Structure 1
Amino acid sequence: MARFTRSNTPLLEPAVSLIAGILSFALPDRSDSYAVSGLVLGGLLLAVVLVKYLFTDRIASWKRILAWSLFFCAGAAGAALHRTDPAPAIEHHGERLTFLGRVESIPDIRGRWCRSTATLFCFADSISGQWIPLGDIFVRLYADTSARNPRLRIGDIVRVRGRLYAADSSGYDLYMRRTRGITARCFAWTVSRIGTDTTWGTRIESLRNKLGNELLSGDATSPDDAGNIMQALAIGNQSYIDPQLRDSYSRTGVAHLLSVSGLHVGIIFMILNLLFGWIRLLRRGYIALGILVILSLCGYAVLTGLSPSVIRAVVMFSLLQTGLMLSRYTNSFNTLCAAALLILLWNPYYIYHIGFQLSFAAMVGIITLYQPLARFRMPRHTLLRWLWSLTLVGITAQVGTFPLVMYHFGQLQLAGLLLNPLIWFTVPAIIGGSLLYLVSHWEWVFALTRTVTDWQNAVITRMGSHDWVAVTGIRLSGWACAAIYLAIIALIVWINRRSALRTRSYFSRNADTGAPAVRTEK
C-alpha cells in the first residue's frame, strides 16, 4: 500500500478545506452565516500561523495556506449560492389556497394519501382571483385519494386546493430542505389535471417507471417482493418495497443495497469492462473502451435518479477509467478526494445527504484499512482467500460507516459481516440479470433473476427475525460521532504506519517530494 503523502494525495487538503467552508456556512443555518464563516476562517488561519511560528514551519508553506483559504472561501460561497430560501413557504404557512404546479416524481399511494413531490408555480388570490407567482417552491404533495381526484402521473400540470405547511428548521424537515430543496408540505383535498409538461426530468422518471413495471411479475393481486427488490437494485426505484421487508434489510445491516450507490456502480463498471474488454485489442481500443464505459456510467446515473452517492461513484470510476484509458496509475484515495471536490463544487449541500456520507465513509475505510489487514493475514487456498477478501471488504466498510449508522438510525447492525459474502454472489446476479432482461426480454433471464432475488429475500428475512442481529435504541450525539471518527482516524494512521516498511510523516520535510503511487489501490 502506498503511503499517503502530500505528493500522492494532493487533493486531500483542498477537499478538507472545501468541506470546512461548506460546514461553516451551512451548519449553523442562520442569517448571519457569512459572519460565522469569516470567524471560523480567521480562527483557523490564526491557529495555523501560531503553530507555524511557535512549533514547526513544516505544517505548510504560505502558498499552501493561501490555497487552503481559497478553497474554504469557495465552499462557503457555494453553500451560500445553493441555499434554498424557505421564506415563500413561511409566508403562506397554514393558508388554504389554490395552487398551480407540476408533479415531479412518481406518485406513491400510501393509505389515504397519494404522495409525490411537486413544484408550485403560483397561487390564486382569494379576493381578486389573479395568479400570484410563488417563485417555484418545491414541496411534498399529499393528494387525498378518498375524494374523486384523478390518478396523478409524473409531469402532470395540476390545480390543487389545499393547505400549505412550511417545513421546520430542524430535524428531518431541515434535512429535506438541505438535500432536496423541499421547503413545505401541501395537503390537497381537490386536484384537477389541466395539462402535461414533459421536461427532461419527468421523461427520465417516466422511463424509470416504465422499466420498473417490466420487472414486476404482472400479478397485481399479490405483493411482488422480488420485483420490487429488482427495481431497487437495478434502477433505484424503492418506492414499493414492503415496509417489513425493508425493516429486515435495515436490521441485518444490508439496507444500503436498496439505494443505488458505489457498490451498484462498481458492479456495472466491472460488467462493462468484462463484456467489452475485447475492444482493447483494436487500434486505440483503450480510448474507445474508456469513452464507452464512461458514457454508460453517466447514462446509468441518470437512469437511477442522480443521487449523490451514485454521482460520487460515477465520478470516481470515470476518473479511474480515464487513468486506465491514458495508461496512468492513480492513487485511489486521491481519486476519492477528486470525486468529493467535483461533487461538492457542483452542489455543496450533497454533504448532508446520508447516502453521500455513508458512501464516502465506506470507501475511506476500504481504501485505508483493507490492504494492511490483508497483508497481516491471508489464507493460501484460493477459495478461502476470496471469501476472506470479501469479508475484509465488509469489515473495513463497516468500520468506516458504523458511527454514522448509529448517529442517523440509532442502530448497530451485527449481522452484516455474515451477509456480506452472500450479497457479493447475489447482488451482481440480480443487477446484471435485471438489466439484461430489460435489454433482451429473455424470459429465462427474468425467471432466474427472480429466483435469486427470492432466495436473497428469504435469507435476509429469516436472519432479520432474530433479536441479536441489531442493537437498537442508540442515541449518539454529533460530537460523540465526531469523537469516534477521530479514534478511527488514529487507528488508520497507526495501522498504516505499522504496515509500512519506512515511516514518513505527512508533515515531514520530505512529504512534498515523496514518490507518487505507482499502483492502483483497490
Structure 2
Amino acid sequence: MHLPAARYLLLLAGGISIGDPLGGWAVLGVLLFINKPLVFLFLGMTVSYWENLHVPVHHQVLLLELKEEPQLRGKHYRALSEIYAVNEQGKWLPKEGKAMLYFKGDSLRKQGELVLIKDGLDTLPRKRPFDGFDYKRYLERQGIYYRKYLSSGDYELYGQTSHLSFAERAQNYTQRVYRELLGDTPELGVAEAMVGGIRVHLDKETQQNYSDTGTIHALAVSGMHVAILFWVLQVLFSRLVPKRSFLFLSLVLCSLWAYAFFTGLSASVCRSVVMFSLFLVGERLQRSGSSLNTLFLSAVVLLLWNPNWLYDVGFQLSYLAVWGILSFHPILHKSIRIGNRVLRSLWEGASVSISATLFTLPLSLYYFHQFPNYFLLANTAVNLVCAPLLPIGLLLLLIYPINWMFEWVGFIFKFLLIILNRVVEFFAGLPGAVSKDIYISMFTVLVLFLILFSVIHFWKRRTSLGLWGLTGGVFLLFSELLVQNYLESNRGKLLIYEGGLSLIQGRDLLVVDECLEINEKKEGIERCIKYGVEGNFRVDSPFGTIVWMKKKQEIDWEGVNFVIISHNSCPVDELPYGVQVVVDRTNSSEYVAQLRKKITSLRVLQESGLFQYEQNI
C-alpha cells in the first residue's frame, strides 16, 4: 500500500521532537537538494521551535483574564488564565502568556473576569522523583509557564471582559440550557462533556466509572461524536440538495467546522473534522485515495497547525484508534461470518471496539496503568446509547426557546443519560472490572506494537516475516522482564530532599521523616521501613555512612560519606574533606556562603530541589 503521508508524518514528528530549526534556511536548502520529503523534518523543527518560543514575564503587577470556568481541584478552584496586560512604570502594556491560577475554596470566580495580581507569578515546580507524570512539561507544551495560588486578599477583581469568543459564548449557553433541564445531577456533567466538551460539572466518581469500563471516550468530544454528526448531516442534507453538489459539500463542511469551534477546537475533534473534510473534498474532486493515507495527511495538517499536539495523549490515542479501525477491523470482521442481521450488527460494533482497543492498548497501559476487563461489553452497550444522544443534545440547544418541544425532547435526552450512567455503573461494579497497577516502559510499548503488527501482517499475508517479528517481539519482551528484575534486585539509590531522605536497596525502601510519593508497586518495592526522627540520625548503607545533623553534636566522622545539615548545626571547620555535604532551606544564607568557600561540591536543596546518587549494590 502506497502511503506517502505516513512518511511525511514520521519526518514531521521527528522534527517536532528535535524542536530546533538548526540554522534555518541553510538547512532547508540542503534538505531540498538531498531529498524533498526531508523538508518535513525541517518544518517539524521550525514549527515546534516557534510554538514553544517563550519570553519570560518578570513583571510584578499583572492583569490576567480567566479563560475558563474555575474547576474544583482539592481545596482550590483551578482556572486557566491569559496575561491581559502588564504594568511598566505606571503604564499598562499588552503582553502574551498563560498561567494556571488556583483560587482558595471560598473565592468563586467566573470565566471572562479580569484579575489584578501585584506580587508576580510563580514558575512551575520541577518534576519530583518517582512522579510518573511530568505535569510541568505537560503544561509547558500547552504554552503555560506560570502558576499562582491566591487567597481573597492576594488579588483584586478588575472587571469583566466584554469580548467572549464564539466557543465561550456557545459553551455558556450550553451550560445554561442543560442546567435548566438536568439540575445538579451526575447527568449534567455527562451531557456537558459529551456534547460540548465541558468538564466543569463532571464529578470524580462518574469519571472513574467511565475510565474503569474503558468508555471514557464517551465523555470527551471525540471522533465518535464527529462521526455520528457527520452521518446525521449527510442524511439530513442529502434530502435537501443533491449529494454531489457544491452546496451539499459546503453545508456539511460548515456544519462540521462550526461544531469544532463550538467545542473549543480540541485535538480529537480537529483530527476527525480535518479527516472528514479531506474525504469530502476528495470525493468532490472524484479522487479516491487510501483512508489510511487521508488519516496520516490529517495528522500532518494538524501538527503543522499545533506541533505540541504530538505530545497530547488524546491526540495519540485518537489516531491509534482510527488506525486500528481502518487497518485491522476489515480483517477481523470478515474472519467471522454471521447470517443473523442483529448478531451481525453486534459483531460489527464489537470488532470495531476490539480493533481500536488493540491499537491503543500499549500506550493506554503506559499512561494509565490499568485495563478494563469488560471493555467489549461496556463499549457495545455504551455506543448503542450514545448514538442518539449527541444529535438529540444538539437539537435541544436549537429548540430551547420552544418550551413544549424542549420539554418532550428533553425528557428523552434525560432518560437516555440516566440509562447510560446506570449501564456504566453496572459494569464498573462487577467483580474484576479493572486490572490495575500495570506499569510498563516505553521500550515495552514499542515491543508490544512490534508483536501486534507482526500478528496482523501474518494474518493478512501468511509470510515468515510476521512469524519472525512475533518471535523477536516475544524474545525482547521476556528479555526486558529479566533485565528489569535483575536491575531492581541489585540497585542502590539515595535521594535527599527537603524534609527527608529515601534509601532504596534492592527491593527494600528506607524512609526518614517526610516521604516522597513513591509508588511502591511501580518501583518494585517489596518492603518499606519508615522512621520519624527528632534529633540527629545516622545510618549505614551501601553508599557508606549517612549522617543527618539537626542539632549541634560531636560526630565520629570515620566512614561518613554523606552529611545532611539542618539549622546551621555543624561548624564549618569540623567538616572533613571528601565528605559530600547537602544543606536544606533551614540553614542561613551566611552559613551556606561559608560552606561554599570550603566545599566546592556543596549541594543546596533550595537551588536543586533534590540530591540523587545511584550505584549497583
For residue 264 of structure 2, give the secondary structure of its aligned residue in structure 1: coil
Q: Is the 8 A contact 1:216 1:228 kept in 2?
A: no
Deviation digits for residues 465-503 of structure 1 (CA, Å, limit 9, x no counterpart): 23412111121222221222222232333333249xxxx
Q: CA deviation at 1:22?
A: 1.3
Alpha-carbon separation, structure 2, partners of 1:327 and 1:194: 56
Q: Which of 145, 148, 170 is 1:186 aligned to?
A: 148
Deviation digits for residues 239-267 of structure 1 (CA, Å, limit 9, x no counterpart): 21111111000011111111111111111
Root-mean-square deviation over aligned CA pairs: 2.8
* Correspondence for 1:159: 116
Indicate the structure with greater strand content: 2
Q: Is the 8 A contact 1:19 1:75 kept in 2?
A: yes
* Correspondence for 1:213: 176
Q: Which of 238, 242, 259 is 2:220 aligned to?
A: 259
* Correspondence for 1:468: 432
Q: How does 1:351-362 map to 2 (within 5 A)?
A: 351-362=310-321
Q: CA deviation at 1:109?
A: 4.0
1:286 aligns with 2:254: no
Q: Is the 8 A contact 1:414 1:470 kept in 2?
A: yes
1:383 aligns with 2:342: yes
Q: CA deviation at 1:153?
A: 2.5
Q: Relative to 1, partners in 2 of residues 1:456 and 1:468: Cα closer, same or farther, differing over 3 Å?
A: same
* Correspondence for 1:503: none
Alpha-carbon separation, structure 2, partners of 1:70 and 1:298: 29
* Correspondence for 2:187: 226
Deviation digits for residues 263-292 of structure 1 (CA, Å, limit 9, x no counterpart): 1111100011111211344xx853211111
Indicate the structure with greater helix content: 1
Q: Percent identity?
A: 27
* Correspondence for 2:326: 367
Alpha-carbon separation, structure 2, partners of 1:498 and 1:200: 58
* Correspondence for 2:301: 342
Q: CA deviation at 1:313?
A: 0.5
* Correspondence for 1:120: 83
For residue 216 of structure 1, give the secondary structure of its aligned residue in structure 2: helix
* Correspondence for 1:99: 62
Q: CA deviation at 1:119?
A: 1.3
Alpha-carbon separation, structure 1, partners of 2:364 and 2:23: 29
Q: How does 1:393-432 map to 2 (within 5 A)?
A: 393-432=352-391
Q: CA deviation at 1:163?
A: 6.2
Q: Relative to 1, partners in 2 of residues 1:169 and 1:131: Cα closer, same or farther, differing over 3 Å?
A: farther
Alpha-carbon separation, structure 1, partners of 2:116 and 2:69: 18
1:88 aligns with 2:56: yes
Deviation digits for residues 436-479 of structure 1 (CA, Å, limit 9, x no counterpart): 11111321111111111101101111221234121111212222
Q: Which of 461, 467, 480 is 1:497 aligned to?
A: 461
Q: Is the 8 A contact 1:168 1:174 kept in 2?
A: no
* Correspondence for 1:438: 397
Q: Is the 8 A contact 1:106 1:205 kept in 2?
A: no
Q: CA deviation at 1:411?
A: 1.1
Aligned residue identity for 1:108: Q
For residue 179 of structure 2, give the secondary structure of its aligned residue in structure 1: coil
Alpha-carbon separation, structure 2, partners of 1:293 and 1:36: 43
TM-score relative to the length of structure 2: 0.68
For residue 239 of structure 2, give the secondary structure of its aligned residue in structure 1: helix
Q: Relative to 1, partners in 2 of residues 1:483 and 1:65: Cα closer, same or farther, differing over 3 Å?
A: farther
1:333 aligns with 2:292: yes
* Correspondence for 1:19: 13
* Correspondence for 1:487: 451
Q: Is the 8 A contact 2:112 2:164 kept in 1?
A: no
Q: Which of 222, 237, 241 is 1:276 aligned to?
A: 237
Aligned residue identity for 1:416: F
Q: Relative to 1, partners in 2 of residues 1:323 and 1:139: Cα closer, same or farther, differing over 3 Å?
A: same
Alpha-carbon separation, structure 2, partners of 1:134 and 1:173: 26
Q: Is the 8 A contact 2:87 2:93 kept in 1?
A: no
Note the residue ranges of structure 2 that are not aligned, 5 or more in a row: 128-133, 401-405, 464-617
Aligned residue identity for 1:143: F
* Correspondence for 2:561: none
Deviation digits for residues 189-231 of structure 1 (CA, Å, limit 9, x no counterpart): 2333323334453x421320221221124575xx311122111
Deviation digits for residues 132-161 of structure 1 (CA, Å, limit 9, x no counterpart): 869422011112243xx5x42222222135
Q: Relative to 1, partners in 2 of residues 1:285 and 1:68: Cα closer, same or farther, differing over 3 Å?
A: closer
Q: CA deviation at 1:376?
A: 1.7
TM-score relative to the length of structure 1: 0.79
Aligned residue identity for 1:165: D
Q: Is the 8 A contact 2:21 2:42 kept in 1?
A: no
* Correspondence for 2:441: 477
Note the residue ranges of structure 1 that are not aligned, 5 or more in a row: 26-32, 46-61, 500-522
Alpha-carbon separation, structure 2, partners of 1:294 and 1:452: 29
Q: Is the 8 A contact 2:182 2:414 kept in 1?
A: no
Aligned residue identity for 2:425: T
* Correspondence for 2:544: none
For residue 159 of structure 1, give the secondary structure of its aligned residue in structure 2: strand
Q: Relative to 1, partners in 2 of residues 1:280 and 1:124: Cα closer, same or farther, differing over 3 Å?
A: closer
Q: Which of 28, 40, 46 is 1:71 aligned to?
A: 40
Alpha-carbon separation, structure 2, partners of 1:219 and 1:259: 19
Q: Relative to 1, partners in 2 of residues 1:200 and 1:325: Cα closer, same or farther, differing over 3 Å?
A: farther
Q: CA deviation at 1:112?
A: 4.2
Q: Is the 8 A contact 2:117 2:156 kept in 1?
A: yes
Alpha-carbon separation, structure 1, partners of 2:301 and 2:411: 40
Q: CA deviation at 1:373?
A: 1.4
Alpha-carbon separation, structure 1, partners of 2:457 and 2:263: 36
* Correspondence for 2:531: none
Alpha-carbon separation, structure 1, partners of 2:442 and 2:245: 46
Q: Is the 8 A contact 2:392 2:409 kept in 1?
A: yes
Aligned residue identity for 2:56: P
1:247 aligns with 2:247: no
Deviation digits for residues 71-113 of structure 1 (CA, Å, limit 9, x no counterpart): 111111111111142x626x68xxxx44311111122245642
Alpha-carbon separation, structure 2, partners of 1:329 and 1:123: 53
Q: Relative to 1, partners in 2 of residues 1:131 and 1:328: Cα closer, same or farther, differing over 3 Å?
A: same
More divergent stretch after superposition (467-476 vs 253-262): 467-476
Alpha-carbon separation, structure 2, partners of 1:218 and 1:490: 51
Alpha-carbon separation, structure 1, partners of 2:80 and 2:313: 19
Alpha-carbon separation, structure 2, partners of 1:71 and 1:169: 32
Alpha-carbon separation, structure 2, partners of 1:238 and 1:78: 30
Q: Is the 8 A contact 1:106 1:209 kept in 2?
A: no
Alpha-carbon separation, structure 1, partners of 2:126 and 2:385: 41
Aligned residue identity for 1:116: A
Q: CA deviation at 1:181?
A: 1.1
**Structure with larger RCO (C-alpha < 8 A, sep 6+):** 1
Aligned residue identity for 1:445: V
